């Protein structure tokens, strides 16, 4: 009887890749079928996935933190079941235009051959650059919100999703920030080897899903754009004056623009409507106050500019994904007190 070939998983890496993602995925996926039996019965089993690290060439290189990578060249691998594009760090205002040309051509070829193409964190930026995400949703690290908006407008970034599987039937899955590699790994194990192996792997490595989504971790970018000097001055001013009454009117007056013109230019420059921008500033300050665990929730709302506690709580949950009380429970004791 011919043995069914193991699913082949290729981890695409580059010098900009985090070893945490690359070797975390490699270690966990390579262990499936082998480590659990060793842990519970003292007799290792057989690894059930064929996992390899690939890069543009087979030449060894150092990835982030100067960690050695000895990959298989993509030209030596012409058929896989799954590709995981590991994180490929790029500054939050820098697209990948003209970079990773060989990797992108290989990804498109693998996708055309039926491989499932997945990504972690900034790996989604590479998929956006490849065009594979055009007209689709995706998940990526929240810090790349403006990069997608400015440079990849045909891709809809889902700010809350840990795993975006909306295009899985078309061969694409994207995962959010760096640690979302764990959610992706468990899903892939479940998909190719079954639920039991996914649960065994979770138990061995103490893996768990990010059930609260990505919103609780999202932090507003304080980047002051440089394309519109008038709006940039308003951004600088409101950063210190967001608690005042009628903040949008005050910014509009300082800009010297008519309200509709101001709103249009503010949205074009920042991606936010003016009042949404103020709300974002206020909620970020509220998060920091809540994280200390010392200020009452209603007092926090008042300090950042909200006189109505009910409105503040409702707005906080919509933007942070958790109620203020749940947010405090999640983060105030994130690091145990000594």
Residue 103 falls within a domain, yes or no? yes
pLDDT attached to residue 293: 76
Query: Does the pLDDT of residue 289 top 60, yes or no?
Result: yes
For the chain, what is the mean pLDDT? 94
Query: Does the pLDDT of residue 238 top 70, yes or no?
Result: yes
Q: Which of 216, 260, 270, 215 is nearest to 238 (CA)?
A: 270
**Which residues have a Cβ under 8 Å from the Cβ of 202 and sit 6 or more positions away?**
186, 208
The reply to whether 249 and 305 lie within a common domain is yes
Picking from 176, 211, 246, the residue at the C-terminal end of a domain is 211
CATH code of residue 297: 1.10.10.60
The reply to whether 196 and 236 lie within a common domain is no
Residue 217 falls within a domain, yes or no? no
Residues 135, 141: Cα–Cα separation, whole Å: 19
Residue 99 falls within a domain, yes or no? yes
Q: Which of 173, 141, 128, 136 is nearest to 156 (CA)?
A: 136
Structural domains counted in the chain: 2
**Residue 330 CA, distance from chain mean position:** 19
The reply to whether 139 and 26 lie within a common domain is yes
Picking from 211, 238, 267, the residue at the C-terminal end of a domain is 211
pLDDT attached to residue 37: 87
pLDDT digits (tens, 9 = 90+) for 23-67: 999 999 999 999 998 888 888 889 999 999 999 999 999 999 999
pLDDT digits (tens, 9 = 90+) for 115-165: 999 999 999 999 999 999 999 999 999 999 999 999 999 999 999 999 999
pLDDT band at 338 (very low <50, low <70, confident <90, very high): very low
What tokens does 319 get?
């933007």
Query: Does the pLDDT of residue 260 top 90, yes or no?
Result: yes
Residue 114 falls within a domain, yes or no? yes
The reply to whether 200 and 237 lie within a common domain is no
Q: What is the CA radius of gyration of the chain?
A: 23
Q: Which of 158, 147, 10, 55 is nearest to 92 (CA)?
A: 147
Query: Does the pLDDT of residue 337 top 50, yes or no?
Result: no
Residue 2 falls within a domain, yes or no? no
Residue 154 falls within a domain, yes or no? yes
Residue 238 falls within a domain, yes or no? yes
pLDDT attached to residue 183: 97
pLDDT attached to residue 222: 77
Q: Which structural domain, as residue segments, surrounds residue 307?
A: 229-331
Query: Does the pLDDT of residue 335 top 60, yes or no?
Result: no
Residues 157, 155: Cα–Cα separation, whole Å: 6
CATH code of residue 117: 3.40.50.880
């Amino acid at each position: 009887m011919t043995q069914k070939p193991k699913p082949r998983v290729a981890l695409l890496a580059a010098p900009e890749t985090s070893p945490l993602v690359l070797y975390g995925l490699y270690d966990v996926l390579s262990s499936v079928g082998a480590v659990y039996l060793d842990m519970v019965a003292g007799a290792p089993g057989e690894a059930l996935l064929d996992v390899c690290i690939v890069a543009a060439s087979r030449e060894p290189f150092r990835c982030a933190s100067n960690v050695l990578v000895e990959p298989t060249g993509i030209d030596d691998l012409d058929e896989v079941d799954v590709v995981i594009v590991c994180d490929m760090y790029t500054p939050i205002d820098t697209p990948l235009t003209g970079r990773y040309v060989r990797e992108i051509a290989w990804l498109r070829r693998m996708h055309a051959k039926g491989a499932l193409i997945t990504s972690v964190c900034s790996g989604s930026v590479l998929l956006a650059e490849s065009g594979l995400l055009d007209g689709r949703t995706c998940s990526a690290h929240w810090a790349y919100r403006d990069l997608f908006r400015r440079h990849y407008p045909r891709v809809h970034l889902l700010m809350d999703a840990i795993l975006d599987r909306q295009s899985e039937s078309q061969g694409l899955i994207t995962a959010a920030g760096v640690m979302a590699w764990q959610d992706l790994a468990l899903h892939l194990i479940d998909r190719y080897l079954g639920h039991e192996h996914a649960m065994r792997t979770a138990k061995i490595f103490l893996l768990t899903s990010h059930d609260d989504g990505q919103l609780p971790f999202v932090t507003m970018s304080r980047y002051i754009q440089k394309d519109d000097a008038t709006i940039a001055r308003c951004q600088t001013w409101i950063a210190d004056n967001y608690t005042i009454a009628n903040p949008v009117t005050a910014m509009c007056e300082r800009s010297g623009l008519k309200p509709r013109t101001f709103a249009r230019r503010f949205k074009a420059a920042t991606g936010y409507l003016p009042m949404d921008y103020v709300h974002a500033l206020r909620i970020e300050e509220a998060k920091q106050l809540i994280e200390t665990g010392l200020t009452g929730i209603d007092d926090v709302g008042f300090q950042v500019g909200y006189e109505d506690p009910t409105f503040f709580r409702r707005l906080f949950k919509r933007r942070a994904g958790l109620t203020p009380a749940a947010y405090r429970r999640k983060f105030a004791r994130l690091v145990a007190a000594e």
